[in-house]
Structure 1
């Protein structure tokens, strides 16, 4: 039997088809408060979309801990065996707006929220182990280059390649993006990465650097440029729908969770800067260690409440997991929560998808839409009335810093090309052919020869064959560039 139709405040609603009017032909009466409420709510039912990663999809599930990691971290979620933790995962596109097609070439967001017994723990990563920039000051500029031109309102190849060509640190990620993995066949068949280096601390106070890898148990599958274009016209929500339909049909995707564990002092002396997100750490030097797996077995009950209102932040850490000096990570620790305060309001963490499974006790109160105001507990500290007490063992472990304060040109004489070349040389001949074809399709749309030359020079510095082939594909003379 259907539920009774009610207003937002629970009163029975008699007629949802006809406004109250003065006579059959009107006009409408202002006493029809249900009409006014319905229109007023409709006028306000859209919230600001995410500035980045606006278009996405997600699901619920669980993380199963298979190997006790207490040797490296005291985080409860990773201590023990066969421990199940609820998770919420959101996949997304970086650049497009909320209504943008799913399949254009783009980096894909890969965010996981663990509802642990020590509070929420978020890993906010991508389907790539690296990124385009390594300084938070450049992040807004990078995103602006991916968004629409302020004059024409077009997304253009000219703008994004202009930024990349003037940002040599981007060449590794550009190579990754223009390769096969820039077009995943589905969210279920792409890997995820924490991308940054994080710090783990065990109960004895020993510290380790870690990098997260989420390996698709379905295998990695990608699509061609041609098919991606066809899907954009046939089903603009293709990736979202494919994920939803798979879970609805009982085909639950899973990912094996691995970490690279790097001893503290070794990490500081590693041949590459492990705090530079444009770099990877070799699996040969630090092999993947299995932690467990997570499974997505439940679609959203209400997409707005479960997914659109979900707020992820790398600042959501639990005892035993801490930040590293990674500059881009340090900027994200502030920016991600701040954008949610703008998008959802100051009390966004009261919303169902963001609320932890443990009780919350602190001295923050009030503000718009506060649903849990902690009753009569005191709202100041220090106090003599047995208010919430600090937890000293949750304090982070310090790391040593040195040098002079100021704007640092830390990219000076940094090698941004070798790892991009290593990636190129890992590609099969067929993958290289598709990479060059994709760059030709995209960089070939740029009118400025100067932008093309700067970008080709980066490819050439990564690998001479790489740069030479791109130059040939764009009918440019490599001798004038190298």
Structure 2
């Protein structure tokens, strides 16, 4: 069966709503032909995914067991303990105890990259995981999200294909931790639903300055349920108190060489020094009427709800205040489950979320080697728990008696009848039947609005600043330039981009040196949406130095008064001053005193800092003009768009480094005022943009 949305990859159509046409026939592991490898079996177009779907279950089951014991994705992570405090009363929306105003709940948070293995680096262009385990009084709630509010796919049945494509290529085992290669872009160019996510992935969102300056998102649409059983749709947001901050591409590359553990170290040191990272938890709440009125489907994980349409309401604060005691026991063994929800929170029929509900429990059993992984301390709830699930590998509890089933009447006969927890309420799934379109015949299909893959991608691109748009174009050019023998892939991707923005497509085609291809046919024509400033990093940066690191280069002969004044001004702005000298021991200042350095020049490059000050004497400048690391220190700071404060004597070093006069290059007196931001107007002069 075919319809207008059928795709034949060989003739330029689009694989989306239903399978059909000239599509290769796959089979299950037992040889049963698969009629549709694009959609899971649902009860109605927007109804829940059905357990009887053996195609989905076999595919996800096999995928979940492909790697042991490392996580298949999100393998490289950093974790920390903390507390969540509810600050607003939302009892009208949710009965969850975790949201009671003033309630403080222990949490464990794990940040991660996605594509690389556990031994990869912290700073590739990649999505970042942002997973929070709340140890609530009603059981564990796991909010498993990312630093990007949308995702590549709409249906979980495509998740194994996405990860296979983005991981290192199967025959050669490289590249590691990056999407700039054939198989990923081959897959992405054949999956137009990924376009919106690709805009985010190619933006500076995937080059975070710090884990502390990332937003977090629950990605899926969930439900909040109040005491009367009324349900509301909700999307969860984490807003960093320090604001958004990113690096630039060249800086990121050099950070990988300077410090493979850059983000992990930054998080650990911030907590260790008492600069506790904080995020505000925000919610976007809306009802079915709002959902039906939108030109997109709120159950589609490739879409977001603009904050201008539904403002984010802040309801609590997350503070990370304790580093782990043992990385393996806690960060590596922590197991997050989307199925861990509590009374007052429930699932929607988001098909990507529904598929994840199958996957995670099985994955943890495979990775941790036991169904008893919930007994590992980092995973154990802080509230009482009890059931009749017994035995299994690595059982640490010793249940006594013979009660391992229910109902039973053993207690009536003087025996232990087993656990009987006394609770005020139990979890009950909210009644989701809201109309004929929610329930119906069993079929594999997506709702029509899921076919719009480009409108929000266009919204995202057009909401960026000019240089953020340039970064996106340059990112596409770089990544697609790494596509080797599959020469049809880059034009196919550019053809998709023409549905997003013609100028973007032209810039990418020009950067690749290819002709602009014919625009790809869209399953649903995109519509223009009002630009959203909330989607831009640069429009949301805070004009502050709080929580940032400032590198201060000094050498023999540096004026002691100038150096002390810069350090004092930086610390008064609540930033961290890091002293750097040519030698580990430091340098002798103008007053004859010896000043110890925090880092040695050759091993402490400027890309480690948010801004730099170069405080030198004539003597020190003369010596450092012959020092390549010093010239590179200034050159990279300028190229990475950072503020540079310099003493008058340091000018020859700036000249040799090619540092030109602009608003971000100041004397020492004006340095702190300039250091709170980056100078993006400088960028066209220091790098080539597509």
Normalising by the residue count of structure 1, what TM-score does the alignment of the two structures yield? 0.87
CA distance in structure 2 between the aligned counterparts of 1:241 and 1:387, rounded to whole angstroms = 47
Q: Does 1:363 align with 2:388?
A: yes
| 1:80-479 equivalences in 2 (<5 Å) | 81-155=101-175, 157-344=181-368, 345-376=370-401, 378-384=403-409, 385=411, 387-388=418-419, 393-400=426-433, 401-408=438-445, 410=447, 414-447=451-484, 448-478=486-516
CA distance in structure 1 between the aligned counterparts of 2:308 and 2:398, rounded to whole angstroms = 51
CA distance in structure 2 between the aligned counterparts of 1:228 and 1:263, rounded to whole angstroms = 41
Q: Deviations over 1:410-454 (max 9, x none)?
A: 578811101100111011111111111111111122133311111
Aligned to 1:51: 72
CA distance in structure 2 between the aligned counterparts of 1:224 and 1:432, rounded to whole angstroms = 13
Question: Are residues 441 and 197 of structure 1, via their aligned partners in 2, closer, same or farther at CA, if it must alter by over 3 Å?
Answer: same
| Contact 1:129–1:194 (CA under 8 A) maintained in structure 2 | yes
CA distance in structure 1 between the aligned counterparts of 2:292 and 2:449, rounded to whole angstroms = 19
Higher relative contact order (CA 8 A, sep 6+): 1
How far did 1:271 drift? 2.8
How far did 1:251 drift? 0.9
How far did 1:371 drift? 1.4
Question: Are residues 71 and 175 of structure 1, via their aligned partners in 2, closer, same or farther at CA, if it must alter by over 3 Å?
Answer: same
CA distance in structure 2 between the aligned counterparts of 1:480 and 1:118, rounded to whole angstroms = 56
**Aligned alpha-carbon RMSD (Å):** 1.8
How far did 1:285 drift? 2.0
Aligned to 2:664: none
Question: Are residues 393 and 355 of structure 1, via their aligned partners in 2, closer, same or farther at CA, if it must alter by over 3 Å?
Answer: closer
| Contact 2:111–2:128 (CA under 8 A) maintained in structure 1 | yes
How far did 1:374 drift? 4.2
CA distance in structure 1 between the aligned counterparts of 2:401 and 2:383, rounded to whole angstroms = 19
How far did 1:387 drift? 4.4
- Following superposition, which runs of at least 4 residues in structure 1 exceed 3 angstroms of deviation? 373-377, 386-393, 409-413, 479-482
SS state of the match for residue 74, structure 2? Answer: coil
CA distance in structure 1 between the aligned counterparts of 2:222 and 2:348, rounded to whole angstroms = 5
| Contact 1:107–1:177 (CA under 8 A) maintained in structure 2 | yes
Q: Deviations over 1:79-116 (max 9, x none)?
A: 2x221100000000111000011111000000000000
CA distance in structure 2 between the aligned counterparts of 1:468 and 1:404, rounded to whole angstroms = 45
Normalising by the residue count of structure 2, what TM-score does the alignment of the two structures yield? 0.61
| Contact 1:272–1:281 (CA under 8 A) maintained in structure 2 | no
| Contact 2:113–2:128 (CA under 8 A) maintained in structure 1 | yes
SS state of the match for residue 314, structure 1? Answer: coil
Aligned to 2:560: none
CA distance in structure 1 between the aligned counterparts of 2:459 and 2:305, rounded to whole angstroms = 12
Q: Deviations over 1:310-360 (max 9, x none)?
A: 000110000011111000101111211111001112100000000001111
Question: Are residues 456 and 358 of structure 1, via their aligned partners in 2, closer, same or farther at CA, if it must alter by over 3 Å?
Answer: same
CA distance in structure 2 between the aligned counterparts of 1:305 and 1:433, rounded to whole angstroms = 43
Unaligned runs of 5+ in 1: 1-45
SS state of the match for residue 105, structure 2? Answer: strand
SS state of the match for residue 442, structure 2? Answer: coil
CA distance in structure 2 between the aligned counterparts of 1:479 and 1:454, rounded to whole angstroms = 8
Match among 66, 74, 78 for residue 99 of structure 2 = 78
Question: Are residues 232 and 377 of structure 1, via their aligned partners in 2, closer, same or farther at CA, if it must alter by over 3 Å?
Answer: farther
CA distance in structure 1 between the aligned counterparts of 2:229 and 2:446, rounded to whole angstroms = 33
Structure 1 window deviating more from structure 2 (399-408 vs 309-318): it is: 399-408
CA distance in structure 2 between the aligned counterparts of 1:70 and 1:413, rounded to whole angstroms = 32
Unaligned runs of 5+ in 2: 1-66, 412-416, 521-690
| Contact 1:59–1:300 (CA under 8 A) maintained in structure 2 | yes
Structure 1 window deviating more from structure 2 (278-287 vs 254-263): it is: 278-287
Structure 1 window deviating more from structure 2 (240-249 vs 110-119): it is: 240-249
Question: Are residues 288 and 374 of structure 1, via their aligned partners in 2, closer, same or farther at CA, if it must alter by over 3 Å?
Answer: farther
SS state of the match for residue 266, structure 1? Answer: helix
| Contact 2:143–2:218 (CA under 8 A) maintained in structure 1 | yes
CA distance in structure 2 between the aligned counterparts of 1:215 and 1:372, rounded to whole angstroms = 40
Structure 1 window deviating more from structure 2 (53-62 vs 464-473): it is: 464-473
